[in-house]
A and B are shown apart, each in its own frame.
Chain A
């Protein structure tokens, strides 16, 4: 279990992480979501004791990370792409890390097989592709068979097969009762992997909720109607709390009424409907909706054109 309380980090006068309080529970995959620059990596580095919080605290399984006598057995971490000396082989990298806490070489061979790096394990890590580097990072995270896993953007650079592999691996690890905390800036990836979400933007907590609730919260409640008599239907539906948008010829986007009411009105007036569908916000839309004001770096042209 990871517990952050009022976690804050400043760089000069810029606040990268601003009073974050959250708990990551064991047994489920928890996604840590936010736009680039939202403070995800900084938060993860503070959990691992690599960065010192300006205020607040964070504990893993009840203790601050540095106070664990055998940290690799407690927490396995994959940090931003490569934390590997480019001149050393994957095998020696893992053996050196394992040595700090007395892990046997047999376990090094096991994790190398587990991540599928056996053929290149004796080659220098400097020649590794991004995907191979990620696999080596995951191997180091699993080395101590830790109760808690912290993975920063683990699918970066992986091919589709690798993405599927890591998705299943994370689900399996959480099913074994471990705490799994995975960051991503890709909502769609999180929707497939995570059950719980912690969403941040500009260092502040935006949502701490299950994936399902997250989508419902952000749903727009709009109904799409396609009809050959669209303009007449639009006039009939119009009301004080109802807005009718004309998407294209013959298609309306109605908010303020549910699909049942629209179907009823159409039927009463003898209007033919080709399509009547409630619009669920896509995950991406939900994410944009919630983090829209928290995106730090944005091209000016993209200014909320969807809304």
Chain B
């Protein structure tokens, strides 16, 4: 081994937001967990979406069961597996940051970008764009595939069916916000297990508690504002009475995520790494 010190021409480059974005893009695509998580989200959405559509079609064909709201369900049934996909996307969103804390990588990252906040913005942007693009494509593919199966019973919906375009587009939007909420919680909690528990506690457990709240007179006014209820309004064409409406509900879901991200930014800047 030589001990020759390479004294090369290393041009002095300032740290910029664009460079940090590039760095985070390299980081995201160089981990296998990124591909596995996205693969799980894609497989769950497409695979289960087609399976649900097939199940729905065969139920309709069974004349013993008459389904009154077949036209409404025809839009949402193929896309229902978003509920499963959000697990994979949420975990990936958490791991984008907690993977660095658990391995110690965060210290190398923050030493390279000591102003810190560009790292959080870059992680959120790179991960958010990747999830949005991938899951929008997956959502449209699943919708068309599912409707092709439903067309055997002549109950298929199209993008021009009432609310269909909003719901198909909404799947990608909703999943992106779930992932970003995961990134924010991961930055706040800094542990993979803790942040995943918090994320799915908020998304899956709170609505169950909301059911209990609904039994009280005042609780009814709170449940529509719970994050996954509000966010889920975007993906529903058969809303519960009292729900906030698709874009208002989704707006609240985005607002909660922005607040979580602001807390994450404050803590990332202040805390010892």
* A positions within 8 Å CB-CB of B: 45, 48-52, 65-66, 68-73, 75, 77, 79-80, 82-89, 92-93, 95-97, 99-104, 106-107, 110-111, 113-114, 116, 140, 142, 144-145, 161, 165, 168-169, 172-173, 176
Q: Which 8 residue pairs are nearest across A and B when measured between Cβ atoms?
A: A102-B13, A66-B114, A92-B30, A99-B23, A83-B108, A85-B105, A145-B10, A50-B273
A143 to B24, CA, bound (A): 18
A98 to B9, CA, bound (A): 14
Residues of A within 8 A of B4 (CB): 114
B221 adjacent to chain A (CB < 8 Å): no
Q: A51-B273, A88-B31 are in contact. Are A97 and B12 (CB under 8 A)?
A: no
Q: How far is the CB of A171 from chain B (nearest CB, A)?
A: 9
Query: Are A48 and B30 within 8 A (Cβ)?
Result: no
B83 adjacent to chain A (CB < 8 Å): no
CB-defined A-B contacts under 8 Å, sample of 29: A45-B272, A45-B273, A48-B111, A48-B114, A49-B110, A50-B273, A69-B14, A70-B14, A71-B113, A71-B114, A75-B111, A77-B111, A79-B107, A82-B103, A85-B99, A87-B33, A88-B31, A92-B26, A100-B20, A101-B112, A103-B11, A107-B10, A145-B7, A145-B8, A145-B10, A165-B1, A169-B3, A172-B3, A172-B5
B136 adjacent to chain A (CB < 8 Å): no
A95 to B108, CA, bound (A): 13
Cβ proximity bits B192-222 to A, threshold 8 Å, 1 near / 0 not = 0000000000000000000000000000000
New A-B pairs, 7, CB < 8 Å, besides A87-B32, A114-B4: A48-B114, A71-B111, A82-B103, A83-B103, A87-B99, A92-B27, A102-B19
* A to B contact number (C-beta, < 8 Å): 138
Q: A85-B31, A86-B103 are in contact. Are A101 and B13 (CB under 8 A)?
A: yes
Q: How far is the CB of A159 from chain B (nearest CB, A)?
A: 12
Query: Are A103 and B10 within 8 A (Cβ)?
Result: yes
Query: Are A101 and B107 within 8 A (Cβ)?
Result: no
Partner of B13, one of A70, A79, A114: A70
Residues of B within 8 A of A83 (CB): 103-108, 111
Q: Which residue of A lies closest to B27 (CB)?
A: A96
* B positions within 8 Å CB-CB of A: 1, 3-8, 10-15, 19-20, 22-24, 26-27, 30-33, 99-100, 103-115, 270, 272-273
Partner of B112, one of A92, A100, A110: A100
A73 to B8, CA, bound (A): 12
Q: A99-B19, A145-B8 are in contact. Are A50 and B30 (CB under 8 A)?
A: no
Residues of A within 8 A of B13 (CB): 70, 73, 101-103
A111 to B4, CA, bound (A): 11
Most chain A CB neighbours (cut-off 10 Å) among B7, B31, B114: B114
Q: How far is the CB of B160 from chain A (nearest CB, A)?
A: 44
A93 to B30, CA, bound (A): 9
Query: Are A84 and B104 within 8 A (Cβ)?
Result: yes
Residues of B within 8 A of A169 (CB): 3, 5
Query: Are B111 and A50 within 8 A (Cβ)?
Result: yes
Query: Are A65 and B114 within 8 A (Cβ)?
Result: yes
Q: A92-B30, A102-B13, A103-B10 are in contact. Are A97 and B108 (CB under 8 A)?
A: yes
A169 to B31, CA, bound (A): 32
Q: Which residue of A lies closest to B107 (CB)?
A: A83
Residues of B within 8 A of A145 (CB): 7-8, 10
Residues of A within 8 A of B115 (CB): 66
A80 to B23, CA, bound (A): 23
Residues of B within 8 A of A87 (CB): 31-33, 99, 103
Residues of B within 8 A of A97 (CB): 23, 108-109, 112
Query: Are B111 and A84 within 8 A (Cβ)?
Result: no
Residues of A within 8 A of B24 (CB): 96
Residues of A within 8 A of B14 (CB): 69-70, 101-102
Residues of A within 8 A of B104 (CB): 79-80, 82-84
A263 to B7, CA, bound (A): 56
Q: Which residue of B lies closest to A172 (CB)?
A: B5
Query: Are A100 and B100 within 8 A (Cβ)?
Result: no
Query: Are B26 and A101 within 8 A (Cβ)?
Result: no
Query: Are A111 and B6 within 8 A (Cβ)?
Result: yes
Query: Are A50 and B107 within 8 A (Cβ)?
Result: yes
A82 to B22, CA, bound (A): 23
Partner of B100, one of A85, A140, A176: A85
Most chain B CB neighbours (cut-off 10 Å) among A73, A85, A107, A168: A85
A102 to B15, CA, bound (A): 8
Q: Which residue of A lies closest to B114 (CB)?
A: A66
Query: Are A84 and B30 within 8 A (Cβ)?
Result: no
Query: Are A88 and B30 within 8 A (Cβ)?
Result: yes
A95 to B186, CA, bound (A): 24
Query: Are A73 and B12 within 8 A (Cβ)?
Result: yes
Q: Which residue of B lies closest to A97 (CB)?
A: B112
Q: How far is the CB of A86 from chain B (nearest CB, A)?
A: 5
A226 to B199, CA, bound (A): 76
Query: Are B7 and A100 within 8 A (Cβ)?
Result: no
Query: Are A70 and B12 within 8 A (Cβ)?
Result: yes
Query: Are A99 and B26 within 8 A (Cβ)?
Result: yes
A101 to B199, CA, bound (A): 33
Residues of B within 8 A of A168 (CB): 3
